[in-house]
Structure 1
């Protein structure tokens, strides 16, 4: 069967809603229809298909497609990877239909065009002019689930994969600049349970907002400590950062606040032990926990994501740098690379700009089509032929 045109593939991928939403099940979409569509196209090209349901998700799946002319289809070759889900969208702020590819002003607009369902359209386009029967090493294509909330798909794949490719490329929008490292992500929820009462007699209650005020003071001390004690000049922001993102508490001006909640994140450097940050957070808040026993709870919002680094001298990274004629850089955002880097040297490299990710009227400039196709074909030729 002949593949549809590039723009038809692109549009069909964007048309299928695959929004991830951890808080609201009604707004959390399965990716099953999308991976089945990818599976059909890739099967028509001769790829062997494996669809895997991901435990503890809402009907989410990974797809692994493999083309190999060898009896051993697990060793060597190339893995091209992307996630199938998107973030929610701000309906009132979009001027284009988020579930349709709209061509305007030399750009392709739509939810997931850049981040990053569109990458699969670029992969399929690059395969049109390649004689797959000439491959001497396997080519794998991985489509993962739930990257935008838990990274459950990539974590499950890394835990169970039997592959050992020579190189993995994650097609996040990097403006076709190779990325070799990024920071980790830790999101914690701090809940204060106070004692409510009438505001006219504050001594009879425990105001959770006031306790949270003490907690925030300690957190800001920790923020400065992290900045002073950890450094990596490879990053534009060369130290761990902390952000106090959400705070909720209280229900009336004349009532002592009985509950207050803060959600925060820490962006850790790759060399930092991601789990030790929880212990450090607990130690920092211990004096206040002693003052208010059993009233301060510290938990993860989602499982922490480690930082990632592919070393400068890694042969696969050096080959990719030569192919694209660009030196690898580092970024502050997170990807699935910490998981896939456990399997093979992993580089983040894809069309479009990260500036468009998670934004209204997300788009990819049409000028990326030819260079992305050429780059993917060079990667396949280098690692699979």
Structure 2
């Protein structure tokens, strides 16, 4: 393994900004990163497909395939990063900086570093034809909408049966994580002078009832669904923010609540709307008030790979660690939906992601190369 090659590639990837954000003013494309990966992989013999994301200029997925057959391996990750405030960094977030055995830079661990290491790991397999395809799959917008992964179809992973999502887990295999839905509730009442409640219809009073109903729903979900593999073994419902009214002496005419639900494996996100609506409808009817429910983002299903699946057994053997669970969401459910046995496992730590001075430890590189090479040998040769 040539560490200099990894550092050179990661330097190039980090210096290409590819922030994705729900705020249009912060959002940018990832196409330059996709093109750079393509420029490295095509001369190595990979067949390159750059797939634009519909309605998103300068955003695309990359599907790079080496070999053919069936039973192959996908090495997958996202090319976007979260936004950053460079005034909080001790070095330029877009210039890879090595110090104290660490590689600092935005995306170094979440998760541009995975691509640099994966490309280095696959090089010994270029001299002999593979018996099953090796696919490098790079997506857009994981940090915001996950539109890149959502747009994948079966043809994009043709011939593959296994997938590694290289999110930073310290190279510990993870076989499950919770799903997430984010909802907004808007209650529109009627404002009026606070001296006479009959002059209006208080949206905040109605929201109080709604929140009480949602708290009861939270308890019901916790009793019905439990997964001992998670530190918090039940679904959670969190009230994130609330806005309403404009003055103490004025009846509140509108109130809005944003909340999320983290679902456990086995739950159907699609059923939640009905359960929430069952809370809202009685309040709306009793108070003769308008209550609207909407999604703040497309939901993400929970993910769980069976503990006895081939890929879990293999990575547990290769890493010497039992497969666990993580609290953060990944693109893994989308690869499962495409029929792939899927594991979440990559270099670096999630503790360093999404904050100033993000870094990958240098001592993560060689172990990751070793594990990926063993997986390529098992599934592609």
What TM-score do you get using the length of structure 2 for normalisation? 0.94
Moved more, 278-287 or 120-129: 120-129
Provide the secondary structure at the position in 1 that maps to 2:25.
helix
Structure 1 unmatched runs, 5+: none
Name the residue aligned to 2:359. 363
CA distance in 1, matches of 2:134, 2:259: 40
Name the residue aligned to 1:122. 117
Residue 191 of structure 2 corresponds to residue 196 of structure 1: yes
Residue 25 of structure 2 corresponds to residue 26 of structure 1: yes
Residue 377 of structure 2 corresponds to residue 377 of structure 1: no
CA distance in 2, matches of 1:245, 1:195: 25
Q: How many angstroms does 1:339 deviate by? A: 0.6
Name the residue aligned to 1:56. 55
Provide the secondary structure at the position in 2 that maps to 1:27.
coil
Name the residue aligned to 2:346. 350
Quickly say closer, same or farther: Cα 1:203–1:95, change in 2 above 3 A: farther
Name the residue aligned to 2:36. 37
CA distance in 2, matches of 1:56, 1:62: 13
Q: How many angstroms does 1:47 deviate by? A: 0.7
Q: How many angstroms does 1:92 deviate by? A: 4.4
CA distance in 1, matches of 2:190, 2:326: 44
Kept after mapping to 2: 8 A contact 1:158/1:339: no
Name the residue aligned to 2:175. 180
Could you give the per-residue CA deviations for residues 148-177 of structure 1, whole angstroms, max 9, x where no partner exists?
122111121146535141310000001101
Kept after mapping to 1: 8 A contact 2:135/2:157: no
Provide the secondary structure at the position in 2 that maps to 1:243.
strand
Name the residue aligned to 1:265. 260
Name the residue aligned to 1:12. 12
Equivalent residue in structure 1 for 2:295, among 293, 300, 305: 300
Provide the secondary structure at the position in 1 that maps to 2:152.
helix
CA distance in 2, matches of 1:256, 1:111: 47
Q: How many angstroms does 1:267 deviate by? A: 0.8
Name the residue aligned to 2:314. 319
Provide the secondary structure at the position in 1 that maps to 2:337.
coil
Q: How many angstroms does 1:3 deviate by? A: 12
Q: How many angstroms does 1:328 deviate by? A: 0.8
Quickly say closer, same or farther: Cα 1:228–1:48, change in 2 above 3 A: same
Q: How many angstroms does 1:130 deviate by? A: 3.6
Kept after mapping to 2: 8 A contact 1:82/1:171: yes
What TM-score do you get using the length of structure 1 for normalisation? 0.93
Residue 213 of structure 2 corresponds to residue 213 of structure 1: no
CA distance in 1, matches of 2:157, 2:129: 24
Could you give the per-residue CA deviations for residues 171-193 of structure 1, whole angstroms, max 9, x where no partner exists?
00011011111111111111111
Moved more, 151-160 or 35-44: 151-160
Equivalent residue in structure 1 for 2:91, among 68, 87, 96: 96
Kept after mapping to 2: 8 A contact 1:9/1:121: yes
Quickly say closer, same or farther: Cα 1:50–1:195, change in 2 above 3 A: same
Kept after mapping to 1: 8 A contact 2:132/2:160: no
Kept after mapping to 2: 8 A contact 1:79/1:141: yes
**1:237-248 mapped onto 2 (5 Å cutoff):** 237-248=232-243
Equivalent residue in structure 1 for 2:128, among 120, 127, 133: 133
Quickly say closer, same or farther: Cα 1:300–1:321, change in 2 above 3 A: same
Kept after mapping to 2: 8 A contact 1:306/1:338: yes
CA distance in 2, matches of 1:58, 1:200: 54
Q: How many angstroms does 1:275 deviate by? A: 0.5
Kept after mapping to 2: 8 A contact 1:35/1:62: yes
CA distance in 2, matches of 1:380, 1:213: 55
Name the residue aligned to 1:309. 304
Name the residue aligned to 1:85. 80
**1:57-76 mapped onto 2 (5 Å cutoff):** 57-68=56-67, 73=68, 75-76=70-71
Provide the secondary structure at the position in 2 that maps to 1:25.
coil
CA distance in 1, matches of 2:8, 2:198: 67
CA distance in 1, matches of 2:293, 2:197: 26
